[in-house]
Amino acid sequence: RIVYVNGDYLPEEEAKVSVFDRGFLMADGVYEVTSVLGGKLIDFDGHAARLARSLAELDMAQPISHEDLLAAHRELVARNGIEEGLVYLQITRGNPGDRDFVFPDPETTPGTVVMFTQSKPGLAASPAAKTGIKVISIPDQRWARRDIKTVQLLYPSMGKMAALAAGADDAWFVEDGKVTEGTSNNAYIVKDGKIITRERSSDILHGITRAAVLRYAAEAQMEIEERRFTLEEAQAADEAFVTSATAFVMPVVEIDGVKVGAGTPGPVAGRLREIYLEESL
């Protein structure tokens, strides 16, 4: 695999980042995941815009222009022959040459930019979309700025492990009795034809797929309510699903061992997945 590090395209074995990089020592970095379908980037502009926002919220300079970022994404997709898969992008506050809590001067310490691809043949035709996934609930113990897409993914990773240990596929976070989101996706329920998903705030990541799916749902005259919902409400819903750049629209058929609706993927999630993939291709 050819990866990108600070302007260079290198075989992955030759790509190196310093032990003093703040991304490594302090999780001081942000990332984006853009999916690739039919060799094309999906919603690159949305991901680039959120990246700029994440960097600004952390007082980090953007070390690469929008144009160069897009060119590098395309170059990696081409060089690695990606038809279906994703491009991962990470920008950290760089390597100040030592460990220090004080932010380094961006003039002398530029950010570290890393990009790589993951090939995922069959991503769009995922069998999980036909069976649906099972989730468990766990308390949301992440930091309170989940709207910034930082690389602090230990707790979500622990949530994923707890889900697998429980025989499920993923976890939904719950805070103050309400579902925030999934470990790496936004959460939705459907009741009496209405799509319900938590409103945007610093409690959740503002999903790029979420924005697209809500736009398509509105265009298809589906009813949408942006508000918080409880786990009990989700278990009693007609349908549940999640969205992300890599899962697209993925039905959820079981929550903490309780079947949602008939316990099979519902028509609203199915229709939204279809529309999303059609519009993206």
Using CB under 6 A, list all residues that contact ligand PDD. 33, 181, 184-186, 205, 207-210, 243-246
Place of tokens 């570290």: 112
| Residue with Cβ nearer ligand PDD (131 or 157) | 157
The least distance separating ligand PDD from the CB of residue 76, rounded to whole angstroms, comes to 17
CB neighbours (10 Å) of residue 94? 27
**Shortest Cβ distance from residue 97 to ligand PDD (Å)?**
29
Which whole-number Å values give the CA distances from 173 to 108, 149, 183, 264, in the listed order? 39, 16, 7, 22
Task: Supply the residues annotated as catalytic.
Answer: 149
3-state helix, strand and coil shares in percent for the chain, rounded to the nearest 5 = 30, 30, 40
> Whole-number minimum distance, CB 46 to ligand PDD, in Å?
7
In the complex, the smallest distance separating the C-beta of residue 279 from ligand PDD, rounded to whole angstroms, is 14
Q: Per DSSP, what are the bridge partners of residue 41?
A: 36
Contact 239, 156 (CB under 8 A): no
How many other CB atoms are there within 10 angstroms of residue 1's CB atom? 15
We find the least distance from the C-beta atom of residue 228 to ligand PDD, in angstroms, to be: 15
Length of the chain: 281
Nearer CB in complex with ligand PDD: 112/150: 150
Rounded Cα distance, 244 and 42, in Å: 12
Contact 269, 217 (CB under 8 A): no
Closest CA to 93 of 83, 81, 80, 106: 106
Report residue 169 as tokens.
Answer: 């596929």
Q: Which is nearer to ligand PDD, 104 or 207 (CB)?
A: 207
